[in-house]
Amino acid sequence: MQTSVRPATRADAAAINRIYNHYVRTSTCTWHLTEETEEGRRKWLESRSPDHPVLVAEAGGEILGWGSLSVYNSRQGWAGTVEDSVFIDHRHHGKGLGRQLLTFLLEAAKARGHRVVVARISGEQEASLRLHASLGFVMAGRLQGVGRKLGQTLDCVYMQRNLG
């Protein structure tokens, strides 16, 4: 399947929301407990700055996944540090889409002058931990038992990639 990665548009809000809300309902990869609305997702897309893009992976007109760079902390001393998010449609796991999106996000972060990309990953999300490690992220810390979802007590693993 030939996929392309491009900046997300307002028209992608429904697909982005569909992908994300699947994980809100079924997974610990996000700790949100309430589904996002499509209108809220549109507003989120419109509020993004050029330094904090949202990208989508697309094939045949279908959005297969999305990723974003977000402000890690609003205090000025954190400028240059961003957080990544990557979500792949559950029907398209194992096809390299997460790697493709995260690679594009790292390139976008570097092009925008960011120095560090941080990932906060639920401790049992082995695929995400492996993906980030394979692209040069290193373990920066682990907060034990800080989250709860789907009847589980969850660890939060911090990983970071310095962009040089």
Domain count across the chain: 1
Cα–Cα distance measured from residue 143 to residue 107, given in angstroms and rounded to the nearest whole number = 28
Q: Model confidence at 71, in pLDDT bands (50, 70, 90)?
A: very high
- Residue 41 has a CB neighbour count (10 Å cut-off) of 22
Is 81 domain-assigned?
yes
Distance between CA atoms of residues 55 and 149, nearest Å: 27
Which residue matches tokens 């990932």? 119
Q: What integer pLDDT is reported at residue 17 of this predicted model?
A: 97
3-state secondary structure of 153: strand
Q: For residue 21, what pLDDT is reported?
A: 98
Concatenating the DSSP letter of every residue in 32-88 gives --SPPPHHHHHHHHHT--TTS-EEEEEETTEEEEEEEEEES-SSGGGTTEEEEEEEE
Residue 1, pLDDT above cutoff 90: no
33 confidence band (pLDDT: 50, 70, 90): very high
Residue 146 domain-assigned (yes or no): no
Residue 53 resides in a domain = yes
**Does residue 132 belong to any structural domain of this protein?**
no
What's the gap between Cα 121 and its chain centre? 10
pLDDT band at residue 147 using 50, 70 and 90 as cut-offs: very high
Q: How confident is the model at residue 121, as a pLDDT?
A: 98
Q: How confident is the model at residue 163 (pLDDT cuts 50, 70, 90)?
A: very high
Split at pLDDT 50, 70, 90, the class of 73 is very high
Structural domain contains residue 71: yes
Question: What confidence score (pLDDT) does residue 151 get?
Answer: 96
Residue 149 lies in a domain: no
Q: Do 92 and 126 contact (CB within 8 A), yes or no?
A: no
Where residue 16 sits, what CATH number does that domain have?
3.40.630.30
59 domain-assigned:
yes
Average pLDDT over residues 143-154: 97
Supply the pTM of this predicted model: 0.95
Residue 164, pLDDT score: 85
The mean per-residue pLDDT over the stretch 16-24 comes to 98
| Parent domain of 98 | 4-115
* Residue 26 identity (one-letter amino acid): T
Tell whether 37 is covered by a domain: yes
